[in-house]
Structure 1
Amino acid sequence: MRKIIKKIFKKSPSSNQDGVFFDKISAILGFTPLNLNYYEQAFTHRSTNKTDAQGNQINYERLEFLGDAMLGSVIAAHLYKEVPTGDEGYLTKMRSKIVSREHLNELGRDFNLIQFVESKVSPQHFGENIHGNIFEAFIGAIFLDRGYGYCEQFIAQKIIKRYVDISKLEGKVISYKSLIIEWCQKEKINFRYDIYEDNGNEGGKFFGVKLYFDEQVVGKARATSKKKAEEKASQRAYFAFQEKISRKNN
């Protein structure tokens, strides 16, 4: 049966030998894929400018949207069953930690999905989030290929069982900026992020951020994006006020 299936599929652009893509995808899945076209799309970067017969774009972005929804659904059901005492707020926070961009990037790297990506852009220009993006697209491909049951099975066996430790996740901070803002609002502390360009003598564009509490600088940082700089400044402020924040949250 397997040999027959392999003959049906066209050779993947990511493979140098016929059947290599099929074998590698099968090994990751733990079951046999039925339509490799979905998986090939999951690893197709928009820079390839591929389109179908109707002129629609062929890349991983639509599958990424679908995979995000599937992950959220399966993980929400898992948390609902495993934490019967958790209220809506708790369950929402825990789900956010599991499907955080940082965690999805980690999963994409661990499965080494980047090896399959077809692109006209050099991998060094992808950006860190490519790992999480194609991981979500991969989940979307599983759903379209084998349906909800197989998709749920993959997420349960390959993700939840291996990567989801509820006790550890409870203490994990996924956004220092969100934590700082929430704490400041509770404590009625006036805060603001002062963002400015800080390129220095280096090539490329950098942003500097100063975080103020009641007009006092409590955290400074510099990064290649405003978002990263804000998060770094927030992290530094968090560690400076960690005792107060932890006491208030407890």
Structure 2
Amino acid sequence: MKNIRNILNSRFKRNGNFFMQLTKILESKPKEIKYYRRAFTHRSMNIKDSKGNPFNYERLEFLGDAMLSSVIASHLYLEVPGGDEGYLTKMRSKIVSREHLNELGKQLNLIDLVESKIPPGQFGDNIHGNLFEALIGAIFLDRGYKYCEKFITKRLIIPHVDIETLEGKVISYKSLLIEWCQKEKKTFNYHVYDDTGNDEIRHFSVKLSIDDKVVAKARATSKKKAEEKASKRAFFAFQSTMSKMI
């Protein structure tokens, strides 16, 4: 087992302003730095705590996700008294979407604080949102629910949550298209296949058919991204009727 103290101390030799950067983000000094050390330790470090448990941000990510959902749910409940359960659930999903959390993580430059054996350029976009959630989890453990709520309100709700704007935002064109097809009793099919282009990175292409007619094509570096891109193109083709589902 690797010595956790030596590894974590090495972070401060290479990145002595960790505490200062963290204080700037929190706008106050952390009480227990140990939570934040964990929040910015990637699993690739392969270290364990004194009890033999993995020492990385993944459990804090889970906790932070729960804190975000709780604070956002409370805010929506109070701000939209006429919204039913379905509406509130959909709005919360838009606010805490992976895309949105990734942007928040980027804005705070959280990737600069990570201790990892993986070069920063090799991380996918989701690392930014994962770190934001882990940070929220660490704040909750360090300062409690009220301070956590205050941080989320200042960093997320006040600058980014506008009910009217969010009502027209689509977080998943594929989910919207499937919901629309089911409501309209239409059949749909995503035909995904490897793209044998000359790109160095593997690509996938997709043909989206509705009622056996190809309505959109797309190409991306993953099947999921290709399907989402094709769904977005189909959305604009059927926007007059599909927009009612938003």
Q: TM-score, normalised by structure 1?
A: 0.91
The equivalent residue for 1:96 is 93
Q: Is residue 143 of structure 1 aligned with residue 140 of structure 2?
A: yes
The list of structure 1 runs, each at least 4 consecutive aligned residues, that deviate by more than 4 angstroms after superposition, is 14-18
For residue 177 of structure 2, give the secondary structure of its aligned residue in structure 1. Answer: helix
CA deviations on 1:149-204 (whole Å, 9 max, x unpaired) are 11111111221111111111110110000110111111111111111111312223
Change (3 A) 1:14 1:136: farther
5+ long unaligned stretches in structure 1: 1-9
For residue 13 of structure 1, give the secondary structure of its aligned residue in structure 2. Answer: helix
Identical-pair percentage: 65
Q: Is residue 63 of structure 1 aligned with residue 60 of structure 2?
A: yes
Could you tell which deviates more after superposition, 193-202 or 140-149?
Answer: 193-202
Q: Is residue 21 of structure 1 aligned with residue 18 of structure 2?
A: yes
For 2:212, which of 198, 210, 215 is the aligned residue?
Answer: 215
Change (3 A) 1:11 1:76: same
- For 1:162-181, what aligned pairs fall within 5 Å after superposition? 162-181=159-178
Change (3 A) 1:151 1:184: same
In 2, distance between residues paired with 1:134 and 1:199?
35
CA deviations on 1:186-223 (whole Å, 9 max, x unpaired) are 11111111111113122232111111011100111111
* C-alpha contact 1:206 1:224 (8 A) present in aligned 2: yes
For residue 90 of structure 1, give the secondary structure of its aligned residue in structure 2. Answer: helix
* C-alpha contact 2:176 2:245 (8 A) present in aligned 1: no
In 2, distance between residues paired with 1:25 and 1:189?
51
For 1:51, which of 17, 41, 48 is the aligned residue?
Answer: 48
For 1:225, which of 203, 213, 222 is the aligned residue?
Answer: 222
For residue 54 of structure 2, give the secondary structure of its aligned residue in structure 1. Answer: coil
* C-alpha contact 1:12 1:21 (8 A) present in aligned 2: no
* C-alpha contact 1:64 1:133 (8 A) present in aligned 2: yes
For residue 208 of structure 1, give the secondary structure of its aligned residue in structure 2. Answer: strand
Q: Is residue 200 of structure 1 aligned with residue 215 of structure 2?
A: no
* C-alpha contact 1:189 1:213 (8 A) present in aligned 2: yes
CA deviations on 1:50-106 (whole Å, 9 max, x unpaired) are 111222111111100000000000000000000001000110000000000000000
For 2:31, which of 30, 34, 38 is the aligned residue?
Answer: 34
Q: Is residue 83 of structure 1 aligned with residue 85 of structure 2?
A: no
Could you tell which deviates more after superposition, 151-160 or 20-29?
Answer: 20-29
For 1:182, which of 179, 182, 197 is the aligned residue?
Answer: 179
Give the C-alpha shift of residue 249 in structure 1.
3.9
* C-alpha contact 2:58 2:134 (8 A) present in aligned 1: yes
Q: Is residue 73 of structure 1 aligned with residue 88 of structure 2?
A: no
Aligned length: 239
In 2, distance between residues paired with 1:242 and 1:14?
53
Q: TM-score, normalised by structure 2?
A: 0.93
Change (3 A) 1:76 1:14: farther
For residue 144 of structure 2, give the secondary structure of its aligned residue in structure 1. Answer: helix
Change (3 A) 1:88 1:15: farther
Change (3 A) 1:17 1:186: closer
Give the C-alpha shift of residue 244 in structure 1.
2.4
* C-alpha contact 1:14 1:118 (8 A) present in aligned 2: no
Change (3 A) 1:249 1:61: closer
Aligned-residue CA RMSD (Å): 1.6
5+ long unaligned stretches in structure 2: 1-7
For residue 219 of structure 1, give the secondary structure of its aligned residue in structure 2. Answer: strand
Give the C-alpha shift of residue 16 in structure 1.
4.3
